[in-house]
Amino acid sequence: MKSFLNKRAPYIFIAPTLLLLILFSIVPIAVALVISFTDMDLGGLANMDRVGFIGFDNYAEVIQDPVFHKAIYNTLFYVVIGVPLVILFSLGIALLINLGTSRIFKVFRVVYYLPSVTNIVAVAVVWSYLYNPALGLFNYMLNSVGLPDVPWLTEPTVAKLSLILLALWKAIGLNMIIFIAALQGIPRSYYEAAQLDGANTWQQVTLITVPMLRFAIFFVSITTMIGWLQFFEEPFVMTDGGPLDGTLSVSLFIYQNGFQFNNFGYAAAGSFVLFICIIAVTLVQLRLQKNETDMT
């Protein structure tokens, strides 16, 4: 018995995790695909006989759903505005921190990373208060320098930008750490050679640092883009998709249809549309990255 167990050891080590991953990550893909072709709802949950196969009806319906269109538009808005901002700010801060030599710069690392580890619900609650039209700190600060109120969460486009601002605050830390790690991987000799040739700091940054960071920038842009495509907690806690579905994201659309309206089949179809978009975006980016490295 003992030798049997010993021989099987590697399988016993990986079995529990693998079973859990298969049960909760791999199998659900197949389940989602199957139910996206059915009219499963709360009634079907109790009694499987009431679930009917309806083919592509869910997909046809979701593609024509104006609310879904709005969710897609908003999600694209988040991606198009949010991703460049995250890259720009986290790279900029990483560069500034990395070039600093004093001890205080280690403190900055912690300060900028802090929002990344804190609870999203708590953060959303706090920012709702900051954005409050009457009591919030932001409007008070604007007023005190003579600027008018901003309708932070009450006007659809401004509300989207407000959520982006919050998500940016939360996303910078982790990406900054990734950039700092990449910056420290650049060989010092490159800079020394450039200095001998008389390059100033700006030239060193633009001609050595940024090109050497190409992989890190690619990595951050792809993970950030996938993250924004799945944007959920901020609109869920702060605006519940409002005003006028102005902040509704595709993820929130799926959640609402699945767990508030209990249309599991319909929500599953929506989730597959999102999944296909994410795969497409990833493949396009991989292709772009490949072309770029081919050229150099």
Site residues (CB under 8 A) for other proteins, limited to 140-159: 140, 144
Between 243 and 258, CB nearer to other proteins: 258
Between 18 and 288, CB nearer to other proteins: 18
List of residues 6+ apart from 131 with CB closer than 8 A: 138, 152, 153, 162, 238
Which of 57, 85, 232, 242 lies at the binding interface for other proteins (CB under 8 A)?
232
Site residues (CB under 8 A) for other proteins, limited to 28-57: 28-29, 31-32, 35, 45
- Residue 6 corresponds to which tokens in the numbers above? 């010993």
Which of 1, 9, 145, 295 lies at the binding interface for other proteins (CB under 8 A)?
9
Which of 4, 16, 55, 291 lies at the binding interface for other proteins (CB under 8 A)?
16
What are the phi and psi torsion angles at 52 (to 5°)?
Answer: -115, 150
Kindly state whether residue 27 participates in binding other proteins, applying the rule CB under 8 A: yes
The distance of Cα 236 from the centroid of its chain, to the nearest Å, equals 14
Between 59 and 232, CB nearer to other proteins: 232
Which of 80, 147, 181, 284 lies at the binding interface for other proteins (CB under 8 A)?
181
Between 160 and 268, CB nearer to other proteins: 268
Inter-residue contact 160 to 234 (CB < 8 Å): no
Which of 60, 80, 88, 125 lies at the binding interface for other proteins (CB under 8 A)?
125
Which of 161, 191, 221, 242 lies at the binding interface for other proteins (CB under 8 A)?
191
Q: How far is the CB of 213 from other proteins (least distance, A)?
A: 11
10 Å CB burial of residue 55 (0-12, 13-18, 19+) is: exposed
Between 14 and 295, CB nearer to other proteins: 14
Which of 154, 221, 282, 289 lies at the binding interface for other proteins (CB under 8 A)?
282
Which of 72, 159, 180, 248 lies at the binding interface for other proteins (CB under 8 A)?
180
Site residues (CB under 8 A) for other proteins, limited to 56-95: 93
Q: How far is the CB of 264 from other proteins (least distance, A)?
A: 5
Residues 194-223, mask of contacts with other proteins (x by CB under 8 A)? -x----xx--------------x--x----
Which of 151, 242, 243, 258 lies at the binding interface for other proteins (CB under 8 A)?
258
